[in-house]
Amino acid sequence: MLNKLIKFLLLTTICSVNSSMSQDLRRDIRAHDPAIIKKGNSYYLYCTGKGIKVWSSVDRVNWKSEPSVFSVSPQWAVDAVPGFDGFIWAPDISFFNGKYYLYYSVSTFGKNTSAIGVATNLTLDRSDLTYKWIDHGMVIQSIAGMTNWNAIDPNIITDSDGTPYLSFGSFWDGLKLVKLSANRLKVEGSLLNLPTIASRGNRINAIEAPFIFKKGRYFYLFASIGFCCRGKESTYKIIVGRAEKVSGPFLDDKGKSLTAGGGRLVLQGNKDWYGVGHNAVANFNRKDYLIFHGYSASENGAPKLLIRTLRWRSGWPVSSAL
**Cα–Cα distance between 89 and 81 in angstroms, integer?**
13
Q: How many Å from the N-terminal Cα to the C-terminal Cα in the chain?
A: 54
In SS3 terms, 261-293 reads as CCCEEEEECCCCEEEEEEEEEEEECCEEEEEEE
Q: Tell me which residue of 251, 228, 213, 244 sits closest to 170, measured CA to CA.
A: 228
**Cα–Cα distance between 76 and 61 in angstroms, integer?**
36
Residue 196 pairs with which residues in a beta bridge?
176
Residue 135 pairs with which residues in a beta bridge?
119
In the set 92, 153, 208, 252, the catalytic residue is: 208
Q: What is the dihedral of CA 28, 34, 35, 40, to 10 degrees?
A: -20
**Cα–Cα distance between 250 and 189 in angstroms, integer?**
22
Evaluate the CA torsion angle 222, 237, 310, 252 in order and state its sign.
negative
- Bridge-based pairing of strands 35-39 and 42-47 is antiparallel
Identify the helix (H) or strand (E) that includes residue 213: strand 207-215
Q: Is 188 a catalytic residue?
A: no
Report CA-CA distances (Å) from 86 to 65, 78, 146, 148, 170. 18, 8, 24, 24, 20
Residues in the chain: 322
In the set 33, 92, 153, 252, the catalytic residue is: 33
Cβ 30 vs Cβ 65: under 8 Å: no
Q: Is 33 a catalytic residue?
A: yes
**Cα–Cα distance between 311 and 215 in angstroms, integer?**
11
Please identify every residue annotated as catalytic: 33, 208
